[in-house]
Structure 1
Amino acid sequence: MSVITIVLFFVYTWGLGVLATFFCRQPEHGFERNVARLGIGLGFFSILAIIFNLFHIPLDWKIFALAGSIGILIYCLKFLRSWKKQEHAFSSKLAKNNIYAVIVLVLFLFTLSMHLKGAFSYPYLEDTDPWEHALGAKYAAVEKTATPPPSATKGYFAYLAPYPPAYDALLGILHQTSPSLSWTMKFFNALMVSLAIPFFYIFAGKFISHPDKAMFATIVFSFIPSFLSHFIWSHALIVPLFLVAMYALEMIQEDKRWIVPGAIALAGMLVVQPTKIAKLGILLGLYVVIVCIVEKKFLWNPFAALAGGTLLSLAWWSSNFSFFFKKNISGYVAKAGDQASAGILAKLKAMFPPDIGTGTRAYGFDDFFVARTQNMINNPIGIGTALSILVFIGMLLLLFFLIRHLLQQRDETSKLRFFVGAGSIALSFLFGIFSLFKSLGAFAYMLLFALLALFLVKNPLSRERKNVWIPISLAWMLFTFLGANSLTFNLPVGLFAFRFWMLLAIAIALFAPAALWFLLGFSQNQWVKWAIIGIAVVSIGITSAYPKYKVNTAQWGPDGRWSSMQELQGYIWLKENLPPNTKVFPFSGEDSLLTGMDMFVCGWCQKESSLRNSLLNTTSEELHGGLKSLGYQYLLLDGMSFKTFPRVYGENATREILPQQFQDIASSSGFSPALQVDGLVVLKII
């Protein structure tokens, strides 16, 4: 554990957040104020790393510490100047906010402890993505840049250019002051996922404009199983930054100077994960469009923040978009046919088929209604029984209320709006009844459509903007529910359906207070209301939070590239018996697995690259001399070599030459056996 790195993380983020929001109107409550600084600073850090990389400024922790320290110094000077000012009078509103802040802090700490318990219950990283992020983070830490060198073989870095590298850059900079890369990745990934809870709370507080409802929404958000797990991937950064960006957009309504922090948070979000940008962009678009409809005017200030964030993100995308497109999309386009006659729709379907994504599948009723204690590790699925019932009842009650209001206000509503609303209800019920025989999911989708259509026709709850959160939540539920079911509904296109679950969790958590408050409206007795709230929280805790806890504290499996469990145990032996960053050369070339075990191999360096390209034709003496001159202390003769070498040399050559070469190396006087298990021999270089 590196305490100094934890302290530095908050110096980086909080200090940069102070700089970004210094000239803005500050939130009244201290908890909200500091959480906002932390979130904005996290986005600032991400885009700043990209800008530094663009201008070849080293990604050195000392530079970021200096920037954060400047923010802290400015804050301290401002604080000292206002020391003698009269304190604010006590307020019951502030007292309630203090209580809620403590609850949010408890939820955050509990979630963090849950993720840390699960992440550190095994010595390895999880399947695939974390190992590749480890390689990118190690490169950023050592070379202090996020631009791969020409000497790196094609595809060596999965999550550096043209992939947006803010996540790996962040982990790499943190690794510069923390010897163990494995610990750094596990701890700070869990921290960023857990920080989504206070980020969500401050966003919901502004978005819903009701502290009690915002608190309930945050409880639901922290309980819901389908939000992020402690799986190490870039989604752990981009989704929390989305919540921060939404908070900044809400703050723009109070002070247009928040355009700058909003643009910074959005820019940081846009340089983290590429496919998530499309989903989050649609959510942002729905937000802006619905608010414009409700307010009946174009929102220039939020648009300025969106435009500013997009322009800042061009620091990365202006030079990498075409390369990323060619690398990741051209193969899908080719499936549509190389002929010029291939239509745009055919190419679109080929690029984004409904089954795209390793975890994408068709979902049934139980997948939503029941949260299981065994689940997917990268993006768990499920809502939970109690929460599903609450949301569904809330939707039905809201629909009944809207229909009644539409009929009561028929004389005050224009004929066009009335018939649009009535038509939406009729079509929704028609398709809903039809789809009920096929899928409850389709029925829920049509119900959401009816609710949203009615809200856009006429918002009966209030003429004030503060209730716009309900139609926006419905629109987000509509989009994310549809996105998660691209294969279920056999849609023409899809966009990694299983990754929609984490966004659906946000939408459901935001709508949950509306559902609960409709139920509370049936009673005027305060004790009954508190009883309903208590039953709801406990029930959601049992049917949603408990399965979430079990999944996130279970022992997850390792990567599937090892040839045997004994080989994996040999790699674990390296981590437990050798100092971090010991130079170890894996014969197989699976550098990411070695890097994730806290060892070091400079696979991107020119000399190592040249040595590796001729391994099968290198004698044991030449190999010893080459590794010794490069400072390596250990050589791994790993079973994975029999998987990787056929890709280069073919099955026959590998089968004929590799066993004899391993035997020659193991018997050479330049190497001494340190460990031998089935599938792995660890040789010390003498």
Structure 2
Amino acid sequence: MSILTIILFFLYSWGFGFTITSFVKNSDNFLERNLMRIGIGLGVLPLLGVVLNLLHIPLDWRIFLALSLLFPLLYLMKNYKKLEFNEFKLKIKKSDIAILIVLLLFSLTLFMYATGAFSYPYFEDHDPYIHALTAKYVSVEKTILDPPTYDFPYIDPYPPAYALIMGLMHQTSPSIMWTLKFFNALIISLGIIFFYFFAKEFIGNRNKALFATFVLAAIPAYLSHFIWAHSLVPTLFLVGMYCLERMKHDKKWLYPSLFVISVFPLIQPSQAIKIFVLLGIYSIIKSLLNRKLLLKEFIAISGGYLISVLWWYNKLGRQFSSEAKIHSGTEFAKIGLFQKLKNIFPYDGGTGTRAYTFDDFFVASSQNMINNPIGVGVVISVLLIVSLAIILIKYKKLLSKENYWISVTLAWFIFTFLGVNSMTFNLPLGLFAFRFWMLFAIPVALLSVEGSRYIAKIFKEFGVGKMITFTVIIAGIILTSGHQKFDLNTMPWNPPLGGLMQSVEELQGYVALKDLEPNTRVFSFCPDSYINIISFDKSICSWCERENSVIGDKDVASDELYSVMKENDYEYLIVDSSCALNFGINETNEKINEMMALNKFQLAAQNDDFLLFKTV
């Protein structure tokens, strides 16, 4: 564990958040003010990285630290005599108690995700290994642009926010595996805090927001500790919504809203489209209910997406070039626009997309998808159904200007429900249905509030107090949703055999590398082995021209291989199953014998699918 890196994460985030909100009317609550600064700063950080990259300034942690603390220190120097230090005295208010409960939920969530993530000494799927490679590159080279010799899957043209954050954290943390596992879990867990403050502003009721936050934390479909860029999406969406909601207190919140919203297209391409629709629903419904165009909300949303052009201005073509190639040709050119959209966004797109049944929603299970779990749970589903029934019955009262949050949330629910079920209902378009679950959980949590209040009201008529009713509801949510979510996220997940790792023996060989110092120089000419080497905390410059020319070359002479390693300070060499898979078993054995005959490679460890040589 790198305590320094954790401290730096909060310093970067809080410092940028303080800077960007210094001129707006912040919350009167000390905890809310500073916790949301962390979220806003986290949202601003990737945009700053893109700007620095455009200016050819290295993405170095010292530069980010200096920039994050520059304005807070200047502010302190200028205003230290005016600061009212009495606000730091311990004065617990009702609002603070609610926040402390939310912080407890955050802590339990982080404990759950971190426990599961660190319960096994490897990454759980192909995606995390590629994210590790990309974060290592950003960390070492201090840029988010591809080198001439290598095309990274998750930066340039792919949006760089996740790689930038993880690469920055890795600059002060020696272990890439620890960095990705911990900060991925932390980012997801922080979303619980940000949801509460957004919901409090959105609903206008602290107790309702607190209950909705508990529900969100318990919903299995609201993210797992799986490592991918999507982890940032709900967390920063909630921060952006908080900024938009604060505009009713101070119109200058337009500017923090702009900057946070600008990061959505810098996280993940398809999720940026979904978030844009959710934001559009919010602004359109509020405008209709107010019977006037809410111009500042529209400016914040459209302007934020326009700011992202700083990254996308010369990359859109490359990002979607694969789709263009798939759908290029005379026939595709002849069809209409809608048919083209159907081809590009098929209803069954996405590796985890399938048709869902009622039980998939109603019954939560510990046996679930690891990248985006599905399911809501029995009690939460009942609350949701009751809420929808109440809204239909009392729509004139509930779907009003004063209760705009219900109208917006209902529209969010319909959009995300259809998004999840694009294959179930055989819709004309889809947008990676299984990735909708994490967004679907947000309106479910918000809507459950009305159902719980109505049930409590009914039971009160029979002499059952609210406290007893809510205690039973909370216990039911824990038993039918929270328990299953906890089990899924704390159990060890199986290794991703068949992709980058072909066997348990090969995995054991890489896990054993932990006995070497972090970032020990380890080389391999086998295709894809460099990804595993980096992921297991060793160092190889696979994107460097000299090394890149050798990797994947089955005909490289052993003496040339040795020269490349010595010239670049590599101490160890790995031969694993990817050599046999790509070069052939006989050819790989011949290469091993050739190396051994050179007497410059000493066998240090081996099993059936993994050999580790030390250079002499």
- Interval of TM-score (by shorter of Structure 1 and Structure 2): over 0.9
Aligned partners of 1:282, 1:16: CA distance in 2, in Å?
Answer: 27
Report how far residue 657 of structure 1 moved. 2.9
Residue 370 (structure 1) aligned with residue 363 (structure 2): yes
CA pair 339-243 structure 1, distance change in 2 beyond 3 A: closer
CA pair 678-506 structure 1, distance change in 2 beyond 3 A: same
* Residue pairs, 1:513-552, within 5 angstroms: 513-522=449-458, 528-552=465-489
Residue 490 of structure 2 corresponds to 553
Residue 65 of structure 2 corresponds to 65
Residue 374 of structure 2 corresponds to 381
Residue 571 (structure 1) aligned with residue 510 (structure 2): yes
Asked if 1 retains the 8 angstrom alpha-carbon contact of 2:384 and 2:448, the reply is yes
Aligned partners of 1:247, 1:7: CA distance in 2, in Å?
Answer: 24
Letter in 2 for 1:663: N
Residue 29 of structure 2 corresponds to 29
Residue 675 of structure 1 corresponds to 605
Report how far residue 231 of structure 1 moved. 0.6
Aligned partners of 1:85, 1:144: CA distance in 2, in Å?
Answer: 39
* Residue pairs, 1:39-438, within 5 angstroms: 39-74=39-74, 76-77=76-77, 80-83=80-83, 95-152=93-150, 156-327=151-322, 329-334=323-328, 338=331, 340-402=333-395
Residue 378 of structure 1: SS of its match in structure 2? coil
Asked if 2 retains the 8 angstrom alpha-carbon contact of 1:266 and 1:309, the reply is yes
Report how far residue 528 of structure 1 moved. 1.7
Report how far residue 331 of structure 1 moved. 3.8
Asked if 2 retains the 8 angstrom alpha-carbon contact of 1:39 and 1:244, the reply is yes
Letter in 1 for 2:120: Y
Report how far residue 340 of structure 1 moved. 3.3
Asked if 1 retains the 8 angstrom alpha-carbon contact of 2:524 and 2:551, the reply is no
Residue 10 of structure 1: SS of its match in structure 2? helix
Residue 7 (structure 1) aligned with residue 1 (structure 2): no
Aligned partners of 2:15, 2:212: CA distance in 1, in Å?
Answer: 29
Report how far residue 90 of structure 1 moved. 12
Asked if 2 retains the 8 angstrom alpha-carbon contact of 1:587 and 1:638, the reply is no
Letter in 1 for 2:324: S
Residue 684 of structure 1 corresponds to 614
Aligned partners of 2:85, 2:3: CA distance in 1, in Å?
Answer: 35
Letter in 2 for 1:363: Y
In terms of mean alpha carbon deviation, does 581-590 or 244-253 score higher?
581-590
Report how far residue 86 of structure 1 moved. 8.0
Aligned partners of 1:393, 1:513: CA distance in 2, in Å?
Answer: 10
CA pair 84-232 structure 1, distance change in 2 beyond 3 A: closer
Residue 482 (structure 1) aligned with residue 475 (structure 2): no
Residue 387 of structure 2: SS of its match in structure 1? helix
Report how far residue 272 of structure 1 moved. 1.1
Asked if 2 retains the 8 angstrom alpha-carbon contact of 1:18 and 1:75, the reply is no
Asked if 1 retains the 8 angstrom alpha-carbon contact of 2:362 and 2:375, the reply is yes
Letter in 1 for 2:612: V
Asked if 2 retains the 8 angstrom alpha-carbon contact of 1:149 and 1:604, the reply is yes
Residue from 552, 555, 559 that aligns with 1:621: 559
Aligned partners of 1:626, 1:394: CA distance in 2, in Å?
Answer: 66
Aligned partners of 1:157, 1:196: CA distance in 2, in Å?
Answer: 28
Asked if 2 retains the 8 angstrom alpha-carbon contact of 1:583 and 1:631, the reply is yes
Letter in 2 for 1:58: P
Question: Any runs of at least 4 consecutive aligned residues in structure 1 with deviations exceeding 4 A, and if so which?
Answer: 84-91, 523-527
Report how far residue 505 of structure 1 moved. 0.4
CA pair 338-170 structure 1, distance change in 2 beyond 3 A: same
1:36-65 CA distance string (max 9 Å, x none): 101110011111011111221100000000
Aligned partners of 2:8, 2:89: CA distance in 1, in Å?
Answer: 35
Letter in 2 for 1:233: W
Asked if 1 retains the 8 angstrom alpha-carbon contact of 2:175 and 2:537, the reply is yes
In terms of mean alpha carbon deviation, does 663-672 or 499-508 score higher?
663-672
CA pair 293-521 structure 1, distance change in 2 beyond 3 A: farther
Aligned partners of 1:567, 1:655: CA distance in 2, in Å?
Answer: 15
Q: TM-score, normalised by structure 1?
A: 0.86
Aligned partners of 1:272, 1:398: CA distance in 2, in Å?
Answer: 34
Residue 408 of structure 1 corresponds to none
Aligned partners of 1:390, 1:184: CA distance in 2, in Å?
Answer: 38
Aligned partners of 1:194, 1:134: CA distance in 2, in Å?
Answer: 20
Letter in 2 for 1:200: F
The percentage of counterpart residues that share the same residue type is 43
Aligned partners of 2:185, 2:607: CA distance in 1, in Å?
Answer: 33
Letter in 1 for 2:148: P
Report how far residue 89 of structure 1 moved. 13
Instruction: Give the total of aligned pairs.
Output: 612
Report how far residue 463 of structure 1 moved. 5.2
Residue 610 of structure 1 corresponds to 549
Residue 505 of structure 1 corresponds to 441
CA pair 71-659 structure 1, distance change in 2 beyond 3 A: same
Report how far residue 339 of structure 1 moved. 5.0
CA pair 351-342 structure 1, distance change in 2 beyond 3 A: same
Aligned partners of 1:351, 1:474: CA distance in 2, in Å?
Answer: 28
Aligned partners of 1:304, 1:158: CA distance in 2, in Å?
Answer: 32
Residue 660 (structure 1) aligned with residue 596 (structure 2): no
Aligned partners of 2:237, 2:610: CA distance in 1, in Å?
Answer: 44
Letter in 2 for 1:622: E
Aligned partners of 1:644, 1:32: CA distance in 2, in Å?
Answer: 55
Aligned partners of 1:32, 1:4: CA distance in 2, in Å?
Answer: 24
Letter in 1 for 2:189: S
In terms of mean alpha carbon deviation, does 666-675 or 2-11 score higher?
666-675
Residue from 430, 434, 449 that aligns with 1:494: 430
Aligned partners of 1:130, 1:472: CA distance in 2, in Å?
Answer: 35
Aligned partners of 1:627, 1:655: CA distance in 2, in Å?
Answer: 24
Residue 471 (structure 1) aligned with residue 407 (structure 2): yes
Q: TM-score, normalised by structure 2?
A: 0.96
Asked if 1 retains the 8 angstrom alpha-carbon contact of 2:264 and 2:275, the reply is no
Letter in 1 for 2:486: Y
Report how far residue 366 of structure 1 moved. 0.9
Asked if 2 retains the 8 angstrom alpha-carbon contact of 1:249 and 1:258, the reply is yes
Aligned partners of 1:86, 1:464: CA distance in 2, in Å?
Answer: 39
Aligned partners of 2:358, 2:93: CA distance in 1, in Å?
Answer: 42
Aligned partners of 1:637, 1:114: CA distance in 2, in Å?
Answer: 36
1:360-419 CA distance string (max 9 Å, x none): 1111111101110111111000000111011112212332233xxxxxxxxxxxxxxxxx
Aligned partners of 1:665, 1:462: CA distance in 2, in Å?
Answer: 75
- Where structure 1 has 5 or more consecutive residues not aligned to the other structure, the ranges are 403-458, 646-653
Residue 233 of structure 2: SS of its match in structure 1? helix
Residue 583 of structure 1 corresponds to 521
Residue 636 (structure 1) aligned with residue 566 (structure 2): no
Asked if 1 retains the 8 angstrom alpha-carbon contact of 2:372 and 2:434, the reply is yes
In terms of mean alpha carbon deviation, does 341-350 or 476-485 score higher?
341-350
- Superposed CA RMSD: 2.0
Residue 36 of structure 1: SS of its match in structure 2? helix
In terms of mean alpha carbon deviation, does 303-312 or 215-224 score higher?
303-312
Asked if 1 retains the 8 angstrom alpha-carbon contact of 2:413 and 2:443, the reply is yes
Report how far residue 498 of structure 1 moved. 0.4
1:290-322 CA distance string (max 9 Å, x none): 101110100111112113312321110112112
Report how far residue 482 of structure 1 moved. 0.5
Letter in 1 for 2:368: N
CA pair 210-88 structure 1, distance change in 2 beyond 3 A: farther
Aligned partners of 1:79, 1:13: CA distance in 2, in Å?
Answer: 22
